[in-house]
Amino acid sequence: MDFKFTDGQLMLQKTAAEFAEKYIEPRAEEIDRTGEFPRDIFNEMCKVGFAGIGTPTNYGGSGGTDIDKVLVVTEIAKKDASCAAILSIHTIFASVLSKFGTEEQKKKYLPETTNGGELGAFALTEPNAGSDAGSAKTTAIFDEETGEYVLNGTKCFISGGSQAKNLLIFALTDPAKGTKGLSCILVEKGTPGFSVGKIEEKMGIHGSETAELIFDNCRVPKENLIGREGQGFKIAMTALDGARIGVAAQALGIAERALDESVKYMKERVQFGKPISALQGLQWYISDMATKIECAKWMIFRAAWLKVSGQPYSKEAAIAKLNASETATFVTNLALQIHGGYGYMKDYPLERMYRDAKITEIYEGTSEIHKVVISRAVLK
């Protein structure tokens, strides 16, 4: 097995690190404090090509693979988890359209929703359909007279919901069939009958907006159906498999930054006449943190490599996301403990990172759901 990155991948990683240091780190505290959606940073990510990673160049993308995406998202997450979440979740839109969209849909929507500056969103979750996505109630009934789908229902916890120009909505085209009647429909911002409800106030990732979406007799042309009617559940699960690698990369970046901050602090902080890096108990903290991060890192790249190679990767993506998210929570907790009272203060980034890490155990599938996915794959 070859564990080496290509020269191009190493250059991309370096570019992402420099980008994050220049554009993101100076704004991270402000974004967290104000909850502002960092449109300026997203625009810069589009200009440099990050938003189009994984999308073919003939559709306006940057090319590249999920391995490239992991490298970029990880570096951005080191400076701000909100910006990493925005990029990672945004790429779900393009991945779905690239795999399931028609040629006309790809030509129309991919160029503007990759490096073209327009945000994309993925709307599956509902108030009573979180982990149980099959319990969705939003409907999209086809009107034979007008040739349109009529959407009614509510989506919640949708990242970038009010900021996105194009949104993938999962709705029942045949409610009697349950999950077999779920379909994926593209809705454009400004479509009559589509409105944004509550903008959530969250514990962390404040810059990554989370919104409620409301559909009240929202009419969408039949040309906006992605894939076939009844294929929505398959599309959603396929998208989530890839998205879990992205969330794992976010978690990895948070954990690596927390370790870096801890090493720096331990070498500088003097107690009892010597740097606290000389204290064996804290050295063991560092050992545990570094070990878990290395394990998480290679699980993530293993899952990404399987996806890129065209091999089954659902179980590996679930393992990578479960492990990386729990690692981020574990590492930021120990890092904050190492920093003591200073880590609890907003003057240090650890307080923000500690809050940001928790969401990686929840969105794109909770840890409990991932354990179900993994156990089913092992027990089949």
List residues with catalytic annotation: 364
- Contact between residue 150 and residue 105 where contact means Cβ atoms under 8 Å apart: no
In the structure encoding, which two tokens stand for residue 254, read together? Answer: 């948070």
Strand 148-159 to 139-143 pairing: antiparallel
SS3 category, 347: coil
Contact at 8 Å (CB) between 249 and 87?
A: no
Q: Per DSSP, what are the bridge partners of residue 226?
A: 184
Q: Reduce the DSSP state of residue 94 to 3 states and report it.
A: helix
Rounded CA separation 312/321 (Å): 16
DSSP state of 248: H
Token pair for 311: 């091999």
Three-state DSSP class for residue 184: strand
Q: Which of 263, 240, 260 is nearest to 317 (CA)?
A: 240
